[in-house]
Structure 1
Amino acid sequence: MRVVMFGYQTWGHRTLQALLDSEHDVVLVVTHPKSEHAYEKIWSDSVAELAQDHGVPVLIRNRPDDDELFERLKEAEPDIIVANNWRTWIPPRIFALPRRGTLNIHDSLLPKYAGFSPLIWALINGEREVGVTAHMMNDELDAGDIVRQEAVVVGPADTATDLFHKTVDLIAPVTTGALDLIAGGQTEFTKQDRSRASFFHKRSAEDIRIDWTWSAQDLERLVRAQSEPYPSAYAFHRGKRLEILAAVVSEGRYGGTPGRIFYREGDGVVIVAGADARTGRNHGLAVTRVRTEDGREMPATEYFTSMGGYLTSRP
């Protein structure tokens, strides 16, 4: 099939590489310009450079809504468009242009976690599996019929970085497997159960600010979700920002006020956590490694020289 590819960052790069390695003919690539957004500077393998290295024409767009782009797409005469990590809405006149429609590759197990940063949100929420879905595009974002889907297990110590590496390796088999079904003439695929759908926004600095009224289990997953190279989860100590680089759920149960710097346990310093911490039924968050505002990284037991005081969500 003649394929036009829409994509960005490493997800788009892996998709394009899979297409180039397949029996299909990539006739045009559309990608975004480089971004300074914190999450878009991560996993930033260039789709444009890969396409150019293989002699494929490239168009750079923030949004695919101009007449010049539409004319170039018509001239390319694609049988199908394949999209992965395209960051803005693709209008119907484009996704319905190819005779086989548009196949979108999304790094979640749809219908759950449509939208942005699905791996991070899924890890924070304690999901047992994550994965990649190839679905046909329609008028609603990430809501079309599922062509192929593969999952991987979330391990108890997995970080978002670990899950990225697990799921990015699924892109090629999911993409080419879906295209094989479509090229073979299949047109009926699995409808999404929209009663199970959830849609998530882009993450920002506000989303990594620690709220000590969360349970220790939730906070431990937040710290793992914000692993390097993602921006680290943070709180404030004595008015200065303190990044929490590593933490575990405490063995003991600790009562009091959320955010209290309370007790040395093993290699960590326990911070009281949970909206109902006053009951004494909660585990705390045992912080094991931190980074100070001036960039110094150290064990938490070295940073917290005495117990008492609070970590707060704001200065």
Structure 2
Amino acid sequence: MEKIKIGYFADGPWSHLAFEKLIKDDSIDIRFIVPRSDTTDQTLKNFSDEFGIDYLYPVKINTPEFIETAKSYDCDLFVSMSFNQIFRAAILSLPRLGVINCHAGNLPFYRGRNILNWALINDEKQFGITVHYVDEGIDTGDIIKQKSYPITDADDYNSLLEVAHTECASILYDAIKEIQSGKSARILQHTIHPVGFYCGRRGPGDELINWNQSSRRLFNFIRSINKPGPMATTYFSGSEVRINRAKLIEGAPEYIGTAGQLLAKTASGFLVKTTDSFIEISEIDSPVVLKVGDKLG
């Protein structure tokens, strides 16, 4: 099989396992690595030193200067993994086989940012990983490979991350090999759904709990941003209270009460009232002592 030359635009733990799979394949030649401009990831720099790969940092990928630099590497394919700059037309046209990206969402649904968090918030029963060609839209390019993975009530943000870090590396590698062999698929996203949808970036303030929601919605929200996320946050007596874990109570009856009020102490935390029933919260980080009867929020 003819060797394929790639430029690797990547950052963070998502990109590490993928790099390790690619570098072991003698038919794949990683010509350069471009990390995020605000990177704190030393691992990719260490890889570049270990394997003698050019590490281009910091760069703005759409400038004429970088385009000339990238052109000099004569890459067949550019690969994006957890990269945060948008590829414009000039750089998209450089590699003869195009630019591909690995996205932790079932495109054309879940385009955009913070997809694993949003999938849990939306009570999805599965999440997807998609490798797609990059075009001038946001996550709108033709799909090469896509795979779905189950979400159960035992899952949370951390468990989905563990699956995604491993599976993104595998599906990305498989997609590159299919492109290299000339047998890759191109599925137009509108053939799956004519519209799809986008998810916005989550930021400061989005971790605040609104207790005026059902048990199911609160359970999903808390687990969607548990560690290594920011953790769901509420307030009591002017102090910030962070909650890392929630549990649904099987058979909990529906009744009217004060949403956000601590109802009872449990072995690991508290029962807290929701709009319909109650849930258990645990792994609570609070600078003040909480007790039954306190109202959170």
TM over 0.5: yes
Deviation (angstroms), 1:48 = 2.5
Matched ranges for 1:1-315 at <5 A: 1-22=4-25, 23-35=27-39, 44=41, 46-61=43-58, 63-186=60-183, 188-193=185-190, 194-250=193-249, 251-264=252-265, 268-273=269-274, 277=275, 282-293=276-287, 303-307=289-293, 309-312=294-297
1:38 is aligned to none
TM-aligned CA deviation for residue 188 of structure 1? 5.0
Deviation per CA, 1:80-127: give whole Å up to 9, x if none.
Answer: 101111112111111221111101111112112111111111112111
Counterpart secondary structure, 2:162: helix
Q: Which runs of 5+ in 1 are unaligned?
A: 36-40, 295-302
Counterpart contact for 2:157–2:225, Cα < 8 Å: yes
Give the unaligned 5+ runs of structure 2: none
Asked if the contact 2:234–2:240 (Cα under 8 Å) also holds between the matched residues in 1, the reply is yes
2:280 aligned counterpart, secondary structure: strand
Quick one: distance in 2 between partners of 1:258 and 1:63? 48
1:272 Cα deviation after fit: 2.3
- Superposed displacement of residue 205, structure 1: 2.4
1:145-200 alpha-carbon deviations (Å, 9 max, x no partner): 11011222112211111111112111232112112221222465111135352222
Q: 1:138 offset after TM fit, Å? A: 0.8
CA shift for structure 1 position 45:
6.2
RMSD: 2.1
> Does the 8 A contact of 1:13 with 1:45 survive in 2?
no
Q: 8 Å contact 1:130–1:167 — kept in the other structure?
A: no
TM value normalised by structure 1 = 0.84
Code of the residue aligned with 1:54 in structure 2: it is: F
Indicate conservation of the 8 Å contact 2:18/2:173, yes or no: no
Q: Could you tell me how far apart the structure 1 residues matched to 2:167 and 2:156 are?
A: 17
**Could you list the per-position Cα deviations for residues 45-66 of structure 1 after superposition, in whole angstroms to 9, with x for gaps in the alignment?**
6322222221110112363122
Contact preservation (8 Å) 2:103, 2:131: yes
Contact map agreement 2:175 2:184 (CA 8 A) in 1: no
Farther off after superposition, 229-238 or 254-263: 254-263
Q: Which whole-Å CA distance do the structure 2 matches of 1:203 and 1:62 have between them?
A: 25
**Does structure 2 retain, via aligned residues, the 8 Å contact 1:212–1:259?**
yes
